[in-house]
Amino acid sequence: MISSPAFAQIHIKGLHHPGIRWAWPIKADQYTFTVNTTSNYDMENVTFDKDAKTLTFLGNSSHAGNIAEIEIPSNLIGGNYTVFQEGQEIHPIVLRNGNLTTVILKFNDSGDVKTDISGTTYLPEFSGIVPLVMAASFGLLFLAPRLRRF
């Protein structure tokens, strides 16, 4: 009879530090969005500038070979993303899936790292006009049958 262990160990080539997942509540006007990050380094803070449509991520790593996945709700910022790391533009992998965009970053530096992700749209900026448009739409809906009589 041959015996084998009842567990498996998964090794990912080049990744020697496990990932840590954080859920960051981001307040934007009257909304709160959750930005999820998973990285193999310490993500210390996330801030949002609605005027610049930019999320800023501050982290610190004691090793090289870093990777991070950042999940951004498309209703927070959307459109085309521009990503800067330590002030230099980078071109990460960007995956769009419905209402969520995942940005995958890789870098080999240790120490403090600042990443800025800017979008071209900030959807809640139109939230003030939505009730007005809805009221006008309902008004036209109720007036349309009366206009046909003339």
Show the domains of the chain with their CATH numbers: 20-123 (2.60.40)
Cβ atoms of 60 and 8 within 8 Å: the answer is no
Tokens 């501050």 belong to residue: 58
Q: Which of 95, 90, 50 is nearest to 69 (CA)?
A: 95
Cβ atoms of 83 and 59 within 8 Å: the answer is no
pTM for the complete prediction?
0.71
What SS3 state is found at 138? helix
Q: Report residue 77's pLDDT band, with 50, 70 and 90 as the boundaries.
A: very high
| pLDDT score, position 29 | 84
Segment holding 5, helix H or strand E: none
Residue type, 45: N
For the chain, the 3-state helix, strand and coil shares in percent, each to the nearest 5, are 15, 50, 35
pLDDT at 145 over 90: no
